[in-house]
Amino acid sequence: METREEIVEKKPSVSKDGSIISKKVDKKGDTTTTITEVTKGGITSITTEVTKGNKVVKKTEDITEISAVIEKDETETGVAKEDTTPSSTKKTKVTNQDGSITDTTVSTKGKTTTIFQTVIRGDEKRTIVKVKEENKPVETREEIVEKKPSVSKDGSIISKKVDKKGDTTTTITEVTKGGITSITTEVTKGNKVVKKTEDITEISAVIEKDGTAKRTTVKKHGDTKTTVTEVTKDGKMYKTTEVTKGDKPVEKTEESTEKSTVVEKDGTSTTTTVTKKGDTTTKVTEVTKGDTTTTTTAISKDGKTITRVKTKSAHTETGGIKLQHVTEECQCDTVPHCQVDEELITVAVKGRCCPKLQCEKKRRTCGLVSRETFVKRKSCQSKVKLPGCGGLCASSYQYSSDGGWRSACGCCKPTQFRSHSVLLRCGDGSVVTETLSVPTVCSCAACK
């Protein structure tokens, strides 16, 4: 009696993260096919592996994602309308016998299908974009060929990218040697060169003894030269941009940027970025809580402030349909003027895109604040991101029953620590380890 085939199937199981996993093994002679299916939310991944003896001869992965996107926009009457066009995405990854990898993504929305296919073979990456609309034939919209950077005999690093759209071909060649990069862009239509440009970029960076980092970028395009100088110290960045044409100055701008992040006890993360450029100050506050991120951008100039509020949230509904994003973007020109001890609060109003803006007393926001800084040990140093404490704490000055005035000031201080190791690079190329004690919990305490 001859055994022609043996099939083993396992009942679906549920993993700790909620994924549903099923497996099927099919043996025919010395060939074994293993199919593993993993489903979570609206995404299903099917991996097929074919082995002959102990050698894997083929491996493919299919990913299917079913999603519905609801987008809101404002009509002339101010009533929001919804776009509930169903969409689906299927991804396939195939490892071929010659070692090349083919990635295919098929996205369908309504009656339009877009196919992205990328083939990686050796040092070449080729991407083809095709579109099929309703009853029309498949149309190739774009073909991109990229080659991995190669090193020439003189030490130059050369990379090349060719982008074809119809009869127009754009070839971009990038050559880097030392801190100088030359980018040549050539556009041809048919066999005729219609445009050719060359951009030269020179970058230099210096780290001073006090940890100040200075980076200078010089870009040359024809007779136009742009010099950008960035100086970073203690979480603050100062940027100067100078543009000259020939020997004549055209423009000079200066700006400064300060960024800080506070993580509260409930996991809410608040990142604040303040940028000053000329007489314009831009403050961007990004608050992330769970799956919802609210970004408030306040632009102040000539005594007037324009605030834009943008909210992004992701939800999972019953039936495994995942709403990839629900986005509302509003511009609010009327902004109340808040006192020093107040902050601007956004309150959502049903049926309105722009939320209600009101001033409220500043809350205690003491928490962990991450900033990039330089850690040095003799001739060794590195730029690392370390946690610290920052935020607001209550303070007061009041009359006491004992007949005198008393002040009470709260300071944001660390209450718990942990050891953290960082790698420092030395001038001779070696690496050493430095262990620091960094805060893990911050809270308001009496100032001393």
Per-residue pLDDT tens digits for 292-313: 777 888 888 887 777 777 776 6
Q: Which of 73, 92, 120 is the last residue of a domain?
A: 120
Residue 333 reports pLDDT greater than 70: no
pLDDT at residue 68, rounded to an integer? 42
Residue 331 reports pLDDT greater than 70: no
pLDDT at residue 81, rounded to an integer? 42
CB atoms within 10 A of CB 53: 9
Mean pLDDT throughout 53-73? 63
Secondary structure (DSSP) of 144-184: EEEEEEEE-TTS-EEEEEEEEETTEEEEEEEEEETTEEEEE
Output 260 or 347, whichever has higher pLDDT.
260
Mean pLDDT throughout 161-189? 91
The pLDDT tens digits of the residues spanning 261-271 come to 877 777 788 88
Co-location of 1 and 112 in the same domain:
yes
Q: Which of 363, 396, 412 is the last residue of a domain?
A: 363
- CA dihedral (276, 375, 442, 284) in degrees, to 10, reads 20
pLDDT at residue 82, rounded to an integer? 43
pLDDT at residue 111, rounded to an integer? 83
Co-location of 110 and 1 in the same domain:
yes
Co-location of 104 and 35 in the same domain:
yes
Q: Is residue 240 part of a domain?
A: no
Q: How far apart are CA 295 and CA 272, in angstroms?
A: 10
Co-location of 318 and 432 in the same domain:
no
Residue 1 reports pLDDT greater than 80: no
Phi, psi of 155 (to 5 degrees): 90, 0
pLDDT at residue 343, rounded to an integer? 72
pLDDT at residue 77, rounded to an integer? 33
Q: How far apart are CA 341 and CA 396, in angstroms?
A: 12
Q: What percent of the chain has pLDDT over 70?
A: 84
Residue 172 reports pLDDT greater than 90: yes
Residue 173 reports pLDDT greater than 90: yes
Look-up: residue for tokens 């003894």?
209
Least confident residue range of 113-117, 331-335, 410-414: 331-335
Question: How many structural domains compose the chain?
Answer: 3
Co-location of 349 and 386 in the same domain:
no
Q: Is residue 191 part of a domain?
A: no
Output the average pLDDT for the chain: 80
Least confident residue range of 57-71, 116-130, 282-296, 426-440: 57-71
Residue 416 reports pLDDT greater than 80: yes
pLDDT band at 75 (very low <50, low <70, confident <90, very high): very low
Residue 156 reports pLDDT greater than 60: yes
Q: Is residue 377 part of a domain?
A: yes
Q: What percent of the chain has pLDDT over 90?
A: 15
Nearest to 210 by CA among 241, 239, 240, 231: 231
pLDDT band at 171 (very low <50, low <70, confident <90, very high): very high
Q: How far apart are CA 95 and CA 104, in angstroms?
A: 12
pLDDT at residue 237, rounded to an integer? 87
pLDDT at residue 236, rounded to an integer? 83
Distances in Å between the alpha carbon of 144 and those of 141, 147, 154, 162?
A: 10, 10, 28, 6
Mean pLDDT throughout 175-185? 90
Q: Which of 316, 343, 363 is the last residue of a domain?
A: 363
Q: Is residue 277 part of a domain?
A: yes
Note down the domain range covering 434: 367-446
Strand partners, 103: 93, 118
The pLDDT tens digits of the residues spanning 198-215 come to 999 998 888 877 778 888
Q: Is residue 37 part of a domain?
A: yes
The pLDDT tens digits of the residues spanning 79-122 come to 334 445 566 778 888 887 788 888 888 888 888 889 899 999 88
Q: List the CATH number of the domain containing 400.
A: 2.10.90.10
Give exposure, 358-374, as e/b (b: 16+ Cβ within 10 Å). Answer: eeeeeeebbbbbbbebb
The pLDDT tens digits of the residues spanning 374-408 come to 888 888 888 888 888 887 787 778 877 777 788 88
Mean pLDDT throughout 419-432? 85
pLDDT at residue 321, rounded to an integer? 42
pTM of the model: 0.47
